[in-house]
Structure 1
Amino acid sequence: MTHPPYPPQPPQGFGPPPQMPQYPAYQAYPAQPAPAGPEFLAVDRRNSVAVDASGVTLEINGVEAEFDWPEIRSVHYKASPNGKSLMLAVVHLDGQFYECVVEAKPRERLREWFAGLSAVLGYYRPLG
């Protein structure tokens, strides 16, 4: 079965490109620097605790929980019973608390973490 040929088409010319709408030029705003202030970070192979100007972040086995300072009632920390880990709890305004344990290797690192954590928490949450 043969098909009849297509009828001849008029020549297609290439005229000027279509007019594109004129949008105002994009103006990038400079990135706002993060608020200055001390930071604390304790990390082991599974968990971490970070404290900075925005609040406290806990990461446990890849699951992260962020707490902004306005929603934090208090932060508590101590050494684990065996003296090898930092145990930290964030108490939310509604009374719920969230805990994270970060192993300190070598054990001397725990003393460094306590000194750093005390200074950073004292900066953001002064007593009195």
Structure 2
Amino acid sequence: MEQRVDPNSPLEYAAGTDPAYIPGLTAPRSAESAESVEAEEAQEPVTEPAAEPAADAAAPDDASVPDEEGAASEADEGASGPVFEVEDRRGSIKADREGIRFRLDDQEAEFRWDELGAVEVKPARFGRRFTVTVHLTTRRWFDAEVEAPARSCLKEWTADLDAVLDAYFEDA
């Protein structure tokens, strides 16, 4: 039996070339739009250092010192708007007027409000894990988990993060 090799046969789109492609849900990207997105991502890194030298040089006063739970004090909220910050032994999640920052060990990622498409909050149904997932407008997503000291903190953390999202996410 003979096999015919046809160089003009159309190539089928493979999901392996674009991991964000979901058949029937998203349209496949053309080769030049995929290359432009890759070039854009290479120029703009996703992870950035969260601490700025100018902010660290300012002398802290009693109103801006965080309490033992890691949340900002009430006096600081009135000056700059609501702030959400939770942490455990390995990582932290912080949301304020600049954006959302994730930290895990020595790695940090900062997301500005204007680059976020959606923010998903998932408190654990069983256990004490609190997960926040940010979905970027570039069809990428990142998540961070923090372990709560007590299960009762999960509802409080969800309400506090909702207040921050209501204050800043709609404005972006």
Deviation of 1:123 (Å) = 1.0
Q: Which amino acid aligns with 2:89?
A: R
Shift of residue 79, structure 1, vs aligned partner: 1.1
The structure showing larger relative contact order (alpha-carbon pairs under 8 Å, at least 6 residues apart) is 1
CA RMSD of aligned residues (A): 1.8
SS of 1:45's equivalent in the other structure is coil
Instruction: Name the SS of the counterpart of 2:80 in structure 1.
Output: coil
Choose the corresponding residue for 2:100, options 48, 56, 59. 56
Which AA in structure 2 matches 1:41? E
Looking at CA atoms only, which structure, 1 or 2, has the larger radius of gyration?
Answer: 1
Q: Runs in 1 of length 4+ with deviation above 6 angstroms? A: none
Distance 1:62 1:103 in 2: 17
Which consecutive residues of structure 1, in runs of 5 or more, have no partner in the other structure? 1-30
1:14-29 equivalences in 2 (<5 Å):
none
Determine helix, strand or coil for the equivalent of 2:138.
coil
Report the equivalent of 1:125. Answer: 169
Aligned match of 2:129 in 85, 97, 122? 85
Q: Deviations over 1:12-62 (max 9, x none)?
A: xxxxxxxxxxxxxxxxxxx8xxx8211000111111100000000001122
1:104 aligns to what?
148
Which structure 2 residue ranges, 5 or more long, are not aligned?
A: 1-57, 59-78
Given the two structures, how large is their TM-score scaled by the length of structure 1? 0.67
Q: Distance in 2 between matches of 1:84 and 1:36?
A: 30
Distance 2:145 2:125 in 1: 12
TM-score scaled by structure 2? 0.51
Q: Report which stretch shifted further, 118-127 or 67-76.
A: 118-127
Larger relative strand fraction: 1
What displacement does 1:73 show? 0.9
Match of residue 12 from structure 1:
none
* Equivalent-residue separation in structure 2 for 1:56 and 1:89 (angstroms): 10
Name 2:48's counterpart in structure 1. none
The amino acid across from 1:72 in the alignment is L
> Does the residue aligned with 2:143 lie in a helix, a strand or coil?
strand
What's the CA shift for 1:81? 4.0
Give the one of 91, 96, 106 matched to 1:47: 91
Which residue in the other structure is 2:82 paired with? 38
Whichever residue aligns with residue 166 of structure 2, its letter is G
Letter in 2 for 1:88: V
